[in-house]
Amino acid sequence: MPPRPKILVVALELFWVGIARLPKALQAAGFEVGVLCFKDSGLAATRFCDCRFFWPASRRGGALAGALQAVVQAWQPDFSVAGDELTAVFLSRVFEKSHPRGELARLLKSSLGRPAALREATSKRLTMETARRLGIRVPASQWVQAEEEIFQFTRRSGFPVVLKKSFGWAGTQVAVCRDEAEAAAVFGGWSRQPPLRRRFRSWRKVLQGRELATRWLPADRTITVSQFIPGRLTMSQAAAFGGETLAIITAGKEHGSPEAGPSSVVRFIHSQEMRRATEKMIGAWGLSGFIGFDFIQGADGFPWLIECNPRPTPIAHLGARVGEDVCRALYCRLTGELRPRLAQEAGLVVAHFPREQLRDPNSPYLTSAFHDVPVDDPDLLQKLSESRG
């Protein structure tokens, strides 16, 4: 029996729920799973991994890169997965700094696709520009450097508008502004923040005080103003290799708190247009791994692409449950095994744990929907319960 392919899940975030649930799905798909994370992270708590590796005490970029190099040399994974946006940017920078013929560079090139394009995918501004060039439906938007530029935009589009920092995730750094006063207050607050190099403390909720040298995180820090599209948040999650989309699942947000934040309840849906947009973007960027996109489904039923999530999203581990397993699709691509072509089933409603319970302890979805509690992973269950979602 041939050895199982090794997949290394790498994460800098502590409590990103989606990535902590992925190792079980990867093992079920056939992978030997390793994780590289901080010891106190949710990912470290899962029992569904074959090897655990931990970041060093020093949180500077060079030390983390050295730790990654050591893990790759010792364990020799066949593929790696960036668990969050910070890690995606970090891995792309490690690739740039690595010896081009080295083992680490080869792994990252295979696993990320085009690393420079991966950083582009973390930018809301560049994602919109790429989508627009490809003819994908996106809201009108522009990069703004002054308050007056926002008001010039609103004189054409009207209020409300959406202000976004280009680098953010899970609804962070996004504000819906309903009048000039609100827009001015948001833009002024963001503009007064010191450059990233001098404000590590603002990352404390993400890295819990861990410092990662900014030369390793050259994220896009521009601000854009966008047309507000009323409607429902929908999402796609794909597995890809070298720009080829292997499998896609699509879902819509039923509930979540705050309004622009992560979903707490989702319903799996069919959307051919979301699938086509996802395939176009992945193909244009030449990406590999797990890539998600967020859309707004307008009143006319058409989806508008609003951003990319170049990492596994909280629905990634649910593919097998709805008939299109993104983890198995990647496994088959790496091993050459044939995979039956299955159509994703629509209609399944999932209450994410612990978010829906935190949103409403008496929510009917906790009993009427599939409540996705990791009852077979007790340490992770406790960790996620303590994290408050």
- Per-block average pLDDT, block size 10, for the chain (389 residues)? 90 84 97 96 95 86 89 97 91 88 94 90 91 96 90 92 79 83 88 50 41 55 89 96 97 80 91 97 98 94 94 96 96 90 84 93 96 96 80
Residue 364 lies in a domain: yes
Q: Residue 3 has what pLDDT?
A: 85
Residue 326 lies in a domain: yes
- Residues 90 and 195 placed together within one structural domain of the fold: no
Amino acid identity, position 286: G
Q: Cα(77)–Cα(74) distance, rounded to whole angstroms?
A: 9
The residue from 169, 192, 227 where one domain ends is 227
What does the block give as tokens for 258? 């705050």
Helices (H) and strands (E) in the chain, counts: 15, 15
Residue 131 lies in a domain: no
- Residues 335 and 288 placed together within one structural domain of the fold: yes
CATH of the domain at 215: 3.30.1490.20
User: Which domain does 73 fall in, by range?
Assistant: 6-121
- Residues 312 and 341 placed together within one structural domain of the fold: yes
Give the CA count within 13 Å in the CB-facing half-sphere of 271: 29
Q: Is the link from the previous residue into 115 a cis peptide, with omega within 30 of 0?
A: no
Residue 130 lies in a domain: no
Residue 106 lies in a domain: yes
Q: What residues have CB less than 8 Å from 333, skipping those under 6 apart?
A: 239, 241, 244, 246
- Helix/strand/coil for 376: coil
CATH of the domain at 356: 3.30.470.20
Q: Cα(4)–Cα(32) distance, rounded to whole angstroms?
A: 6
Q: Residue 239 has what pLDDT?
A: 98
Q: Cα(76)–Cα(32) distance, rounded to whole angstroms?
A: 11
Residue 126 lies in a domain: no
The residue from 212, 227, 242 where one domain ends is 227
- Residues 209 and 236 placed together within one structural domain of the fold: no
- Residues 212 and 243 placed together within one structural domain of the fold: no
Q: Residue 201 has what pLDDT?
A: 38
Which sign does the torsion angle of CA 65, 67, 71, 73 carry? Answer: positive
- Residue from 120, 119, 116, 94 nearest 105 by CA: 94
What does the block give as tokens for 339? 């995979």
CATH of the domain at 65: 3.40.50.20
- Residues 75 and 212 placed together within one structural domain of the fold: no
Q: pTM to 2 decimals?
A: 0.90
- Residues 208 and 221 placed together within one structural domain of the fold: yes
Residue 127 lies in a domain: no
Please say whether the beta carbons of 250 and 268 come within 8 A: yes
The residue from 184, 202, 227 where one domain ends is 227
- Residues 159 and 288 placed together within one structural domain of the fold: no
Q: Residue 220 has what pLDDT?
A: 65
Give the CA count within 13 Å in the CB-facing half-sphere of 306: 29
Backbone phi, psi, residue 51, to 5°: -145, 140
208 φψ region: left (φ > 0), alpha (ψ -120 to 50), beta (else): left
Q: Cα(306)–Cα(168) distance, rounded to whole angstroms?
A: 13
Q: Residue 198 has what pLDDT?
A: 39
DSSP codes joined into one string, 120-166 = HHT-HHHHHHHHHHTT-----EEEESSHHHHHHHHHHH-S-EEEEES
Residue 316 lies in a domain: yes
- Residue from 319, 176, 181 nearest 259 by CA: 176
Q: How many domains does the chain have?
A: 3
Please say whether the beta carbons of 75 and 32 come within 8 A: no
DSSP annotation of 114: S
- Residues 379 and 249 placed together within one structural domain of the fold: yes
Q: Residue 345 has what pLDDT?
A: 83
What does the block give as tokens for 158? 């009207």
- Residues 254 and 339 placed together within one structural domain of the fold: yes
Which sign does the torsion angle of CA 303, 308, 310, 313 carry? Answer: negative
- Residues 116 and 191 placed together within one structural domain of the fold: no
Pairing of strands 370-372, 349-352: parallel
- Residues 198 and 112 placed together within one structural domain of the fold: no
